[in-house]
Amino acid sequence: MSTAEHGKSTSGITMRDVAKAAGVSVATVSHVVNNKPGARIGDDARRRVQETVTELGYRPNALAKTLSEGTSRFIGLVADAIATTPFAGQIIHGAQDEAWKHGYVLLVANTDGNTAAEDEAIAMMLEHQVRGILYSTWYHREIVVPEALHQTDSVLVDCFADGSGLPAVVPDEEQGGRTATEELLAAGHRRIAFINTTTPSPAQSGRLAGYRSALELAGITFDESLVFAAAPEQEGGYAAAPRIIDSTATAVFCHNDRVAMGLYDGLREQGLRIPDDIAVIGFDNQDVIAAHLRPPLSTVALPHYELGAAGVRLLLGLDPATATDPLKVACPLIQRQSI
């Protein structure tokens, strides 16, 4: 492969064409186009090259540029399922917007949690000399870090690995649980049930801790009999309805919006009206559900977009990473009509 080929752009105009039209050497064009530090080029020649580049529509070959610079303008995003579950796609959205803002393009690989596919995706990204890799999961959890992630700058998004040394950004589950409970307290409720998930996770422990701390701050003694375990979906919420009614709670904090949707059905079957007879708040602000229940569901949003954007900022060193703990992103309150 010759140097001439490197100068060939995708528009068909070569670096040689630019050099000829601008009356400078190919090396000068290359230095200006690639913005090489240390190259001594007069202001005149630089301006002439830049004008000619615009005039002829010369577009430097991105791959050749990557080879000469050693890293590309790619940021990799390895995701277990966020692009294909109806849930965490906004992580991609936020990461992409933030990457583009800083001149990077997001390279997305969806692995469905398959280890072989994951290894292959990371290897592909390393081969393409990515600036770094975001490794993301579709729900917040602790992970075992794939060894290859240590071969470049990597940031964990919506997941974490204690002791891995990798920076991480996760939703603030405890604050979210506190916010949800405080919203019910603010409406005057004192006997508040919590339908938690049966699945051990940072969401399970964090939202419970938030629920407890909000009660404590309000001077209400924690009552374990008001905490119910249910499968984290509609069926779990529906099945919990009789227990909620028996508990004489006047308000319910649901682990997620799907549970709240099932609970709506269960309460309705027993003739209870929301929010007149019982108030309900969810968690997630899940698209196609939360805003469309009857009545529309008040909830706390998972900040997926912001997680993706914050991950890119951590990777590029624009936000300082904390050495040990993951960076926590707040879960905002979304007020609707169920309280």
176 binds a copy of itself (CB under 8 A): no
> Contact region for a copy of itself (CB under 8 A) — 83-91, 213-221, 223-231, 270-278?
83-91
User: What is the 8-class DSSP label of residue 221?
Assistant: -
- What is the distance between the alpha carbons of residues 298 and 283, in angstroms, rounded to a whole number? 8
127 binds a copy of itself (CB under 8 A): yes
288 binds a copy of itself (CB under 8 A): yes
258 binds a copy of itself (CB under 8 A): yes
44 binds a copy of itself (CB under 8 A): no
CB closer to a copy of itself out of 132 and 262: 262
* Residue ranges of E strands in the chain: 74-79, 105-110, 133-142, 154-160, 168-171, 192-197, 227-230, 251-254, 279-281, 299-300, 327-329, 333-334
> Contact region for a copy of itself (CB under 8 A) — 48-56, 126-134, 192-200, 239-247?
126-134
Q: Which residues make Cβ contacts (< 8 Å) with residue 163, sequence separation at least 6?
A: none
113 binds a copy of itself (CB under 8 A): no
What one-character-per-residue DSSP string does 227-289 give? EEEE-SSHHHHHHHHHHHHHTT-SEEEESSHHHHHHHHHHHHHTT--TTTT-EEE-SB--TTT
**Please, which of residues 198-257 interact with a copy of itself by CB under 8 A?**
233-235, 238
- What is the distance between the alpha carbons of residues 255 and 204, in angstroms, rounded to a whole number? 8
> Contact region for a copy of itself (CB under 8 A) — 200-208, 246-254, 287-295, 324-332?
287-295
Exactly one of 25, 84, 199, 270 binds a copy of itself (CB under 8 A); which one? Answer: 84
Q: How many CA atoms lie within 13 A of 115 on its CB side?
A: 5
286 binds a copy of itself (CB under 8 A): yes
Q: Which residues pair with 227 in a beta bridge?
A: 194
323 binds a copy of itself (CB under 8 A): no
119 binds a copy of itself (CB under 8 A): no
> Contact region for a copy of itself (CB under 8 A) — 14-22, 87-95, 171-179, 194-202?
87-95
**What backbone phi and psi angles, to 5 degrees, belong to 134?**
-95, 130
Beta strand 299-300 pairing with 133-142: unpaired
Report, in Å, the least distance between residue 72 CB and a copy of itself: 7
CB closer to a copy of itself out of 184 and 230: 230
Q: Of the candidates 138, 137, 157, 135, which has an alpha carbon nearest to the alpha carbon of residue 146?
A: 135
> Contact region for a copy of itself (CB under 8 A) — 208-216, 289-297, 316-324, 325-333?
289-297
263 binds a copy of itself (CB under 8 A): no
CB closer to a copy of itself out of 55 and 162: 55
Indicate the helix (H) or strand (E) that contains 24. none
- What is the distance between the alpha carbons of residues 270 and 247, in angstroms, rounded to a whole number? 14
Residue 290 near residue 334, CB atoms below 8 Å? yes
Report, in Å, the least distance between residue 286 CB and a copy of itself: 7
66 binds a copy of itself (CB under 8 A): yes
Residue 245 near residue 270, CB atoms below 8 Å? yes
> Quick one: tokens of 145?
């870090």
Report, in Å, the least distance between residue 226 CB and a copy of itself: 25
- The contact set with a copy of itself (CB under 8 A) reads 1, 3, 5-6, 10, 59-64, 66-68, 72, 83-87, 89-90, 92-93, 96, 100, 105-110, 112, 117, 120, 123-124, 126-129, 233-235, 238, 258, 261-262, 265, 268, 286-289, 292-294
